[in-house]
A and B are shown apart, each in its own frame.
Chain A
């Protein structure tokens, strides 16, 4: 069973705050996890990937993975209005061959 779940939002945060985006997945043997940002009418662009338990930081973005809880999150520090977009969680599992399973996305709105 391949399911990736996200809260659809919208998640509204004030400018400068931390935005926390969450994703859960159903297949315990999932291996790789990716966060994509998608502006309205545009295609998804990769923000971060994570494969090991723990935190991974890249600039204002931190991805967190907890395989025991089947949970991956994305934190955006010092949120800016330009971060307003839909954030897609994607899971890669060799049981699915080359396919990725995408969550429905969380719409983030950063208010000036």
Chain B
């Protein structure tokens, strides 16, 4: 089974702090994603990466950056946390092989509260 591990289940940070969310997958997947999920807004893509050191903006990249130095690890960075970034953050991975029919595999999520 694919395992996607997010380093923190719950985080509480202060406004203006730099926040790192870490995600590791164990299936050698090429593609990794960061989503946020908010009530009434559903799942929205922040960034994704299709290879080491490669990244693409998603639908809502403002206020975020990402890092992928190793294939198995994809980090989401909130440069200066704000209260409107309080949300559930979901990391996902996906194989690039037979890509059109392979699903996303999600981590357990990080619930971030910015005060």
- Residues of A that sit less than 8 Å from B by CB: 31-32, 34, 36, 41-46, 49, 51, 88, 90, 92, 94, 97-100, 102-105
Checking A31, A90, A94, A104 against B104 with a beta-carbon cut-off of 8 angstroms, the contacting residue is: A90
Q: Are B42 and A98 in contact, CB atoms less than 8 angstroms apart?
A: no
Complex Cα spacing A31 to B102, Å: 11
Complex Cα spacing A69 to B111, Å: 37
Complex Cα spacing A51 to B111, Å: 33
Q: Are B106 and A98 in contact, CB atoms less than 8 angstroms apart?
A: no
Checking B31, B40, B90, B100 against A43 with a beta-carbon cut-off of 8 angstroms, the contacting residue is: B90
B56 CB contacts on chain A under 8 angstroms = 97-98
Q: How large is the interface on B (under 10, 10 to 19, 20 to 34, 35 or more residues)?
A: 20 to 34
Given A42-B109, A43-B90, A44-B90; A100-B104 close (CB under 8 Å): yes
Checking B48, B101, B103, B106 against A99 with a beta-carbon cut-off of 8 angstroms, the contacting residue is: B48
A94 CB contacts on chain B under 8 angstroms = 100
B50 CB contacts on chain A under 8 angstroms = 98
Q: Closest chain A residue to B4 by CB distance?
A: A43
Say yes or no: is B43 at the interface (Cβ < 8 Å to chain A): yes
Complex Cα spacing A102 to B64, Å: 21
Contact with A along B12-23 (1 / 0, CB 8 A): 000000000000
For the complex with contacts A100-B45, A102-B42, 20 further pairs of A-B residues with Cβ separation under 8 Å are: A31-B101, A32-B100, A32-B101, A36-B106, A43-B90, A43-B106, A43-B107, A44-B90, A44-B106, A46-B104, A51-B100, A51-B101, A88-B43, A92-B101, A98-B33, A98-B99, A99-B45, A99-B58, A104-B42, A105-B42
